Amino acid sequence: MLGVHAGDSLGATVEFSPWAEIRDRYPDGLRDIVGGGPFHWPPGHATDDTDLTRAVLLAYLEPGDDVVRTAADHMMAWYDGAWPGREPGSRPVDIGNATSWGLRKYRRTGDPRDAGAGAGRAGNGSLMRCIPTGLAVADRERRVRESMEISAITHDDERCTVACAAYNEIAAALLAGADPSDAVTEGREAAKDLAVVAEAVEFGRSLRPAVLAAHGPGSALEAEASGYVLDSLVLAVAAVLDPRPFADVVVDVVRVGRDTDTNGAIAGGLLGIRDGVDAIPAPWVATLQFADEFTAAADRLAGRF
């Protein structure tokens, strides 16, 4: 959870910036959480990535029979401004189109399984928030189902739902002690029925974040890391297979450019499981808006296993 938050807050400073611009501003990469960016974030403030991850997390910390509905209700609270660090009633300053569409549809239908932005909208807005399912659910069948159903509240394109399932199988395998390569194999297995996602997981094995950071995404990433769900999944797989320390890898993922906060968050989540909290630079953690809350939540989740 802190890995998601740290990657998000680091990348927020250069969100939407292309690789060449980041290279010129930060030749060695952005290595401190300083805030700013197009939305003028305070240092360590959650963007929509961490906020919506928190919405899913809260659903798993509360008793109830329908975690999908509870997650959707927390997303609506965020959308409507009932959220820490926000003026009550204010709308989010940053929200993806598919997320906005899906939540507005949920308000109309009242059914979290009849929402979603529809096929053809394959952004990374559900992948960025899905990791609480991978951390909270021990049963594989339930974990895959809930990964997909929570994705579909806003992102019901099959590439998104299956990407979330694959990502959370990687997360769960890492949490159980698997080495990163074996964990990635688990993710690919979860995606086997949708070739385009399985191929994206496998393609991530061939990429090196340091090379992408040094030379730009080029043709390696279909949408140049600008928000396509499979670009973000590819980067996360490449990141978790990179043997370097947490900070070095996340810095390089952010250096790739474009959707830097979300790519940093998605990669940071897997790296956080792989390396543990002590690998995240202490000055980064000290700035994070929800650091104490996420630490307490992790202790509660750990008690369930």
Binding-site annotation: residue ranges for Mg(2+): 47-49, 259, 261-262
Q: What residues contact 33, with CB distance under 8 A and at least 6 apart?
A: 6, 9, 10, 13, 43, 44, 283, 284, 287, 288
Binding residues: 47-49, 259, 261-262
The rounded Cα 47 to chain-centroid distance in angstroms is 11
Strand partners, 41: 36
| CA-to-CA separations, 65 to 71, 73, 198, in angstroms, rounded | 12, 14, 31
Q: Which residues of 23-54 are buried (b: 16+ CB within 10 A; e: fewer)?
A: beebeebbbebbbebebebebbbbbbbbbbbb
Q: What is the DSSP string of 156-214?
A: -SHHHHHHHHHHHHHHHHHHTT--HHHHHHHHHHHTTTSHHHHHHHHHHTT--HHHHHH
Q: What residues contact 262, with CB distance under 8 A and at least 6 apart?
A: 8, 11, 49, 124, 125, 128, 227, 232
289 three-class SS: coil
- Give the whole-angstrom CA distance, residue 269 versus residue 223: 22
In the chain, the N- to C-terminal Cα span, in Å, equals: 17
DSSP single-letter state for residue 41: B
22 three-class SS: helix
